[in-house]
Amino acid sequence: MKILCTLPMDPAGLALLDPAVEVVVAPDAGAETLYKMIGDADFLVVRNQLPADLFERPNRLLGVIRHGVGIDLIPVESATAQAIPVANVPGSNAQAVVEYCISSFLSLARPIGRMDTVLRSAGWAPARAQTANATELAGKTAGIVGLGAIGAGLARLCKHGFGMRVLGFQRNPRNMPDFVESVDLDTLLSTSDFVSLNCPLTPATRHLLNADRLRRMKPGAVIVNAARGPVIDEQALVIALRENWIRGAALDVFSNQPLAPDHPLLKLDNVLLTPHVAGITVESSRAMGIGTARQIVQLMAGERPEHLVNTEVWDRYLARRRALGQRP
């Protein structure tokens, strides 16, 4: 058995695999590299965007596992058409993302990082001047778009940890925590001091925050995006930040990744930028690695993985295994 990884798996996950299993890490996640390597892999571990036609190339794949949560990196419909099961590790990095979002709120409210930089480069008085617009979270309003595991966790921390009023928006409000006020998106944006995007990327959420909605926000508001880049119209956001429609933003995800060296966001001083790491901590990496490896072991044994995404594929998958000479 051979496992192809787009990026390395956590050692805790590797320890669960049979030593006889060959684990190979692709030298890069480019389409041509994956096209060349997919043919002799039995399992694919995904941490990067896959080419949309990857599974249409000759392959013997018995499973695709997302080393994480978001399955938008995987062409699931294509995998389903090829009778390839896809699984992920839901909840594995929720706490890490929650803490990233709240730390971004704090960093935008009180620019401690900038104070440190200015203190080192310009001295005491200029660094103290950075507190001119410093504010506190207590008593402010947090608006959370998407109240899944991450959004709900962030809502609890905002409400019970910082004494914030919490507004929530999601298309199905029935599972909203009882301490979150369910509102429409425009009300959330026009009322909130701190907005966090924690929704999946779907056709309905692509450019959910466009120029019109950015203009509806309070001038002193900030946005945190640790969901997916295209949830925000990036060009409109650049204008909003440049022209101070809003106070600032913290972005962990972008429309195109990696972020281009000449991207206009890099020239703005009212935005915090991180390279898609909100969900990566020692603890979450271990949980993602173990969850990934556990489901590979299940699939190797012909067992249904605990977090199968394309459930409709299972019967055809078992038939495909038999055709490949694998025991069901």
Q: 2-92+282-323 and 94-273 share one CATH topology?
A: yes
pLDDT, average across residues 146-157:
96
Residue 327 has a pLDDT of 63
Distance between CA atoms of 96 and 92, rounded to whole angstroms?
Answer: 9
Q: What is the largest CA-CA distance in the chain?
A: 74
Mean pLDDT of 162-170: 97
* Block residue for tokens 């935008």: 108
* Residue 323 pLDDT exceeds 90: no
- Share of residues in the chain with pLDDT > 90 (%): 95
In angstroms, rounded to a whole number, what is the distance separating the alpha carbons of residues 65 and 87? 5
Quickly state the pLDDT bin for 285 (edges 50, 70, 90): very high
Q: Rounded to 5 degrees, what are φ and ψ at 260?
A: -65, 140
> What's the pLDDT score for residue 321?
83
For residue range 231-277, list pLDDT tens digits in order.
999 999 999 999 999 999 999 999 999 999 999 999 999 999 999 99
Q: What is the pLDDT of residue 322?
A: 83
Nearest alpha-carbon partner for 222 in 249, 253, 192: 249
pLDDT at 172 over 90: no
**DSSP label at 303?**
P
pLDDT in tens, 14-38: 999 999 999 999 999 999 999 999 9
Mean pLDDT, residues 193-206: 95
Residue with tokens 């909130």: 192
Q: What is the DSSP string of 197-265?
A: E-PPP-TTTTTSB-HHHHHHS-TT-EEEE-S-GGGB-HHHHHHHHHTTSSSEEEES--SSSSPPTT-GG
Residue 61 sits at φ, ψ, to 5 deg, of -60, 135
Are residues 76 and 86 in contact, defined by beta-carbon separation less than 8 angstroms? yes
Class of domain 94-273: alpha beta
- pTM for this prediction: 0.92
2-92+282-323 — its CATH code? 3.40.50.720
Query: Domain residues of the chain, as ranges?
Result: 2-92+282-323, 94-273
